[in-house]
Amino acid sequence: MSTQAHASKAKRVPSKSVEIHIKRRANPDSPSYWEQFEIPYRPNLNVISCLMEIQANPVTKEGKPTTPPVWQMNCLEQVCGICTMVINGRARQSCSALIDNLDQPIKLEPMQKFSNIRDLVVDRSRMFDHLKQVNAWIELDGTHDLGPGPRMDQDDVQERYAYSRCMTCGCCLEACPQYDEDNYIGPQAIAQVRLFNMHPTGAMSRDARLEGIMQEDGITNCGNAQNCIKACPMGIPLTRAIYEENRETVVHGLFGWLKK
Amino acid sequence: MAIHLSRTFVLRKLHQLSGIVPLGIFVLEHFYTNSKAINGAGAFNEAVKDLQAIPYILFVEIGGIFIPLIYHAVYGLVITMEARPNNLNYPYPRNWFYLIQRTTGVILFFFIAFHLLHFRFGLIPGLNPTSVAHRPDIAFEIVSRGFSSVPIFLVYMVGITATVWHLANGVWLFMVDWGITIGERAQRLTGYACIGFGIFLLLVGINAAVAFIRPGGLLGGIL
Asked if the model's pLDDT at residue A36 lies above 80, the reply is yes
Instruction: Identify which of A208, A211, A223 has the shortest CB distance to residue B98.
Output: A223
Give the contacts of B51 (CB within 8 A, at least 6 positions apart).
B33, B57, B133
The model's pTM:
0.93
Would you state the pLDDT for residue A12?
A: 54
**Dist. CA A134–CA B206, nearest whole Å:** 48
Mark which residues 20-79 of B lie under 8 Å from A by CB: 79
Query: Exposed, middle or buried by CB within 10 Å (0-12, 13-18, 19+), for A235?
Result: exposed
Would you state the pLDDT for residue A14?
A: 56
Query: Which conformational region is residue B217 in: left (phi greater than 0), alpha (psi within -120 to 50 degrees), or beta?
Result: left
Q: Is B97 on the interface with A (CB under 8 A)?
A: yes
Would you state the pLDDT for residue A260?
A: 85
pLDDT tens-digit series, residues A59-103: 999 999 999 999 999 999 999 999 999 999 999 999 999 999 999
Identify all chain A residues contacting B170, using CB atoms and an 8 Å cutoff.
Answer: none
CATH 1.20.1300.10 fits B7-216, yes or no: yes
Would you state the pLDDT for residue A20?
A: 97
Q: Is B180 on the interface with A (CB under 8 A)?
A: yes
- The chain B residue lying nearest A213, using CA atoms, is B9
Q: Is B154 on the interface with A (CB under 8 A)?
A: no
CB atoms within 10 A of CB A95: 22
- Give the ipTM: 0.94
Where in chain B are the domains? 7-216
Asked if the model's pLDDT at residue A3 lies above 70, the reply is no
**Dist. CA B194–CA B188, nearest whole Å:** 10
Cross-chain Cβ contact B90/A227 below 8 Å: yes
Would you state the pLDDT for residue A1?
A: 43
Identify all chain A residues contacting B180, using CB atoms and an 8 Å cutoff.
Answer: 247
Cross-chain Cβ contact A220/B3 below 8 Å: no
Identify which has the larger pLDDT, A13 or A242: A242
Structural domains for chain A:
2-123 (3.10.20.30), 125-139+146-259 (1.10.1060.10)
**Dist. CA B50–CA B1, nearest whole Å:** 50
Tell me the mean pLDDT in the region A140-145.
78
List the one residue out of A208, A66, A78 whose CA is nearest residue A139: A208
Cross-chain Cβ contact A218/B83 below 8 Å: no
Q: Is A49 on the interface with B (CB under 8 A)?
A: no
Q: Is A226 on the interface with B (CB under 8 A)?
A: yes
pLDDT band at A182 (very low <50, low <70, confident <90, very high): confident
pLDDT tens-digit series, residues A10-31: 555 556 899 999 999 999 999 9
Cross-chain Cβ contact B83/A231 below 8 Å: no
Would you state the pLDDT for residue B220?
A: 83
Question: Where are the alpha helices (H) located in chain B, listed in sequence order?
Answer: 7-20, 23-35, 41-52, 57-61, 67-82, 93-115, 139-147, 150-177, 184-210
pLDDT band at A141 (very low <50, low <70, confident <90, very high): confident
pLDDT band at A5 (very low <50, low <70, confident <90, very high): very low
Q: Is B110 on the interface with A (CB under 8 A)?
A: no
| Candidates A254, A257, A258, A260, partner chain B, best to mutate (most B CBs within 10 A) | A254
Would you state the pLDDT for residue A126?
A: 96
- The chain A residue lying nearest B185, using CA atoms, is A240
CA distances, B57 to each of B34, B50, B66 (Å): 19, 11, 12
pLDDT tens-digit series, residues A150-176: 899 999 999 999 999 999 999 999 999
Query: Which conformational region is residue A181 in: left (phi greater than 0), alpha (psi within -120 to 50 degrees), or beta?
Result: left
**Dist. CA A97–CA A46, nearest whole Å:** 6
Q: Is B84 on the interface with A (CB under 8 A)?
A: yes
Q: What distance in Å separates residue A22's CA from the closest CA in chain B?
A: 18
Write the DSSP string, B63-79: IIIIHHHHHHHHHHHHH
Cross-chain Cβ contact A214/B97 below 8 Å: no
CB atoms within 10 A of CB A186: 28
Q: Show pLDDT as tens, one digit a residue, over chain B (223 residues).
A: 579 999 999 999 999 999 999 999 999 999 999 999 999 999 999 999 999 999 999 999 999 999 999 999 999 999 999 999 999 999 999 999 999 999 999 999 999 999 999 999 999 988 999 999 999 999 999 999 999 999 999 999 999 999 999 999 999 999 999 999 999 999 999 999 999 999 999 999 999 999 999 999 998 878 6
Tell me the mean pLDDT in the region A235-242.
98
Cross-chain Cβ contact B98/A177 below 8 Å: yes
